[in-house]
């Protein structure tokens, strides 16, 4: 990376810390939950499109909770770092909490957050579409392909879906297409906006069959607000 660009990123992060109450580098803390995404605690964004969070998932049948720390490249739509902490391995006398997981894994995770230049912020939120930004209006939609279930009493099965992002002035683009999904339900939840560049994560919840009933998990897809649109 060019040293001038690196200095610019660091300077921008310093301004963000001073103005919005964020933490950078050595000041990473266990993040707060946000509304709209269950069991989801976002750390924040980097200036080059990485996003980091902590999620938790109770394991039905077996018991215990798995806490997963993720750094996601929203440019390439790829996980670049993940660390899982399984409370099943802690022993029966240890409470399964995010605080306990952070006490065990916070050092390693913080090193990864620093590596990917994550700027921690308490102002990360998920919002519903439409999004108004820079004089433009953005909307999103889902295109689903459903196959009827062989069981007449069961839900239809979503075999594939595409996320479409539309701009009032730029046109539209396909953010992602997911095949062989096998879900009972797919829903567009909203977006998470980066404060460091014109980029969002589109949040989609996918419901699938679980041990006893259904399980709904969030999925995230990166989209730049100025590139890739076609009229």
Q: Could you report the per-residue pLDDT of 33-78, keeping only the tens digit for each?
A: 999 999 999 999 999 999 999 999 988 767 789 999 999 999 999 9
Instruction: Tell me the pLDDT of the chain averaged across its residues.
Output: 87
Q: In the prediction, which pLDDT does 154 show? A: 60
Min mean pLDDT across 20-24, 171-175, 182-186 is at: 20-24
Q: Which two tokens stand for residue 50?
A: 């990485």
Residues in the chain: 231
Threshold 0.75, pTM exceeds: yes
Examine the domain organization and report whether 102 and 166 are in the same domain.
Answer: no
CB 65 within 8 A of CB 56: yes
Examine the domain organization and report whether 168 and 149 are in the same domain.
Answer: yes
Confidence band, pLDDT 50/70/90 cuts, at residue 165 = very high
Q: Residue 137 is part of which domain span?
A: 131-224
For residue 216, is it within any domain? yes
Q: Could you report the per-residue pLDDT of 101-138, keeping only the tens digit for each?
A: 999 999 999 999 999 999 999 999 999 999 999 999 99
Spatial separation of the C-alpha atoms in residues 43 and 99, rounded to whole Å = 14
Examine the domain organization and report whether 111 and 10 are in the same domain.
Answer: yes
Q: How many domains, in total, are found in the chain?
A: 2
Examine the domain organization and report whether 11 and 41 are in the same domain.
Answer: yes
């Amino acid at each position: 990376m060019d040293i001038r660009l690196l200095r610019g990123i660091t300077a921008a992060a310093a301004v963000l810390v001073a103005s919005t109450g964020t933490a950078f580098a050595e000041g990473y803390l266990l993040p707060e939950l946000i509304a709209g995404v269950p069991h989801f605690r976002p750390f924040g964004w980097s200036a080059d499109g990485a996003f980091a969070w902590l999620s938790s998932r109770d394991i039905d049948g077996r018991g215990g909770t798995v806490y997963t720390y993720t750094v996601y490249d929203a440019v390439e739509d790829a996980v670049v770092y993940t660390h899982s902490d399984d409370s099943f391995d802690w022993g029966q006398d240890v409470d399964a909490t995010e605080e306990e997981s952070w006490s065990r894994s916070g050092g390693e995770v913080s090193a990864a957050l620093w590596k990917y230049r994550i700027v921690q912020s308490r102002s990360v939120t998920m919002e519903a579409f439409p999004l108004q930004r820079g004089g433009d209006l953005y909307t999103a939609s889902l295109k689903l392909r459903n196959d009827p279930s062989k069981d007449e009493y069961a839900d239809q099965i979503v075999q594939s879906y595409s996320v479409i992002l539309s701009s009032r002035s730029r046109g539209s683009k396909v953010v992602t297409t997911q095949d062989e999904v096998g879900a009972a339900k797919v829903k567009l939840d909203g977006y998470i906006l980066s404060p460091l560049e014109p980029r969002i994560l589109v949040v989609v919840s996918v419901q699938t069959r679980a041990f006893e009933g259904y399980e709904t998990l969030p999925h995230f897809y990166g989209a730049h607000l100025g590139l890739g649109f076609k009229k």
